Chain A
């Protein structure tokens, strides 16, 4: 009896050390870990990958609830790393030496590392980037809507939709000639800007058909023609472009808002080595191109462009002439506490009659 027990335990211990087959619990966005990429990774390394799809706010809420446990790798946007880390301590520093830096576009890697540095430690590296701006039916609304605040034009009354979330506040602030990012550290100034935006959004409310919540909801609204102009992500516009060539993504005059989704290690992650292996794996140009095909957005992988589909590249170039690229407003890290100001503005807009 004892011998069998002993034997089994040695066997089990042997398996655990010899195989090194770990599970990577990945908390990510839809499309960032397509099935074929996961299969290739599992085949090459012997590790298994469990994918949980989520969004920025839910990722942080999930990690906060467990103090950074339950997942080994997460992908929040780069502006949502510094604040939550200072406030809740849900991430752990990243050992960048374990990553193959040559795989990354250097400027993007530098910018992300700088934006996610807390107390001298780097917490994030870039993965997928994209923008939000205007998705519209250019045949119907193209002449009227050039910028976010044109969504309030009477010519498109009842045919407009946007989210009641912070990107809308930021976008409208830029369209109204303000610079909310410059005011991030000046709470009084930021409040002042937000009050102006609040007045504008309340005035604009009659024009809006509905505030959209999920991406699919918006796609349905635009595809069915019920909405002709909306504030949304670039990929949404490019996907709809396949069905109706009049619909596409347009960078607003005041500049599209640029985001970068990153890789971060949750504080209580248990498979850091697998996480590093995953990052190095998906940043290879061929693999990154597969992710671009699934998610519709480009990655920070150097050289992946040449593997991307031509049709997507064409759409990207049509939406982003060089001056529009130069005009992209990249989200700086959100200081803790701004959400409270934005939250009450959003509440008041929704409650306004």
Chain B
């Protein structure tokens, strides 16, 4: 019996181990090895920290790095701000069929690919686009307005792309909040604000943290949205990684960039967990 159990355990574990090993761990080791070598001549490489030094010594790279992180944090905060009332309405106020319909409405945009969604925004925001024409028709603008190719457009795209990943965990945690607890809060003399602060938010915390982590990682690692909606100055860190690998043939620097991004995202997630006093186990479990 125990040997049969053992076989079952091994069989169940094998796909996971293969997945992690072949697709995540081995490629990362390889990437790391690439990132610590330097081209000294035609096809000749030496081990060195030159790539990481290049990263540290070039203000442009650091600046893009910081910019990407700050904008991702901002996008996460905005998504939370917009998604929280939406989720609260879906979880607590809408009933029965309406609840399902509203939830579906959040889901439907994700039936099409990210590329198509981004193109949709381009059609809306461009100078000869829908919004610009609408503003002119309404008399609010007397000439075409360009809303594409700037950081605000990137922000809209990022928030839109990651909305669902915030709504789902929030709805799940908010649904588990007992209505009577909220009522008790009011009975004890609380007002809307204090009930929200003392009861709803603490209860929804696991959902908030989980949603924030997912949205932050998605924004930080997004490539399509920032490149398509962004303008002349809008460098995104993933774009720099792509450029180093594909356009410049500089895999070494690209790999180093990749590791810096991994480090940055891990650090920020760790910082957020520390700040909110949660552990990764609580958040995921």
Contacts and interface: CB of A to CB of B under 8 A. Distances in A.
Contacts of B15: none
A340 B250 contact: yes
Given A336-B42, A340-B250, A343-B247, A351 B149 contact: no
A88 interface: yes
A98 interface: no
A85 to B, nearest CB: 11
A225 B250 contact: no
Interface string A92-121: 000000000000000000000000000000
A84 B249 contact: yes
A348 interface: yes
Nearest to A225: B128
B96 to A, nearest CB: 44
Contacts of B43: 86-89
Interface size of A as a range: 20 to 34
Contacts of B247: 57, 165, 339, 343
Interface in B111-156: 126-128, 146, 148-149
B233 A353 contact: yes
Given A86-B42, A340-B250, A351 B63 contact: yes
Interface in A223-254: 224-226
Contacts of B233: 350-351, 353
A64 B251 CA distance: 10
A210 B231 contact: yes
Nearest to B64: A351
A142 interface: no
B60 interface: yes
B48 to A, nearest CB: 16
Contacts of B63: 351
A87 B42 contact: yes
Given A60-B249, A64-B249, A87-B43, A224 B126 contact: yes
A241 B151 CA distance: 33
A315 interface: no
Contact of B149 (A84, A205, A209, A353): A209
Given A88-B43, A226-B128, A351-B64, A210 B250 contact: no
Contacts of A205: 232
Contacts of A217: 228
A29 interface: no
A187 to B, nearest CB: 14
Contacts of B228: 213, 217
Contacts of B146: 209, 226
Contact of A350 (B149, B232, B245): B232
B235 interface: yes
B249 A351 contact: no
Contacts of B232: 205, 208, 210-211, 350
A58 interface: yes
Residue in B64, B243, B247, B251 with the greatest tally of chain A CB atoms within 10 Å: B247
A347 interface: yes
Contacts of A353: 233
Interface string B50-66: 00000000001001100
Interface string B205-235: 0000000000000000000000110011101
Contacts of B235: 350-351
Interface in B2-52: 42-43
Contacts of A211: 232
Nearest to B245: A61
A213 B232 CA distance: 11
A343 B127 contact: no
A294 B165 CA distance: 42
A207 to B, nearest CB: 10
B249 A61 contact: yes
A58 B243 contact: no
Nearest to B251: A64
Contact of B127 (A60, A213, A224): A224
A348 B60 contact: yes
A131 B217 CA distance: 41
A285 B156 CA distance: 51
Nearest to A351: B60
Interface of A: 57-58, 60-61, 64, 84, 86-89, 165, 205, 208-211, 213, 217, 220, 224-226, 336, 339-340, 343, 347-348, 350-351, 353
Interface of B: 42-43, 60, 63-64, 126-128, 146, 148-149, 227-228, 231-233, 235, 240, 243-251
Q: Which 4 A-B pairs have the closest CB atoms?
A: A224-B128, A343-B248, A210-B149, A351-B60
18 contacts: A61-B245, A61-B249, A64-B249, A84-B249, A87-B42, A87-B43, A205-B232, A208-B232, A209-B146, A213-B227, A213-B228, A225-B128, A226-B128, A339-B247, A343-B247, A343-B248, A350-B233, A351-B60
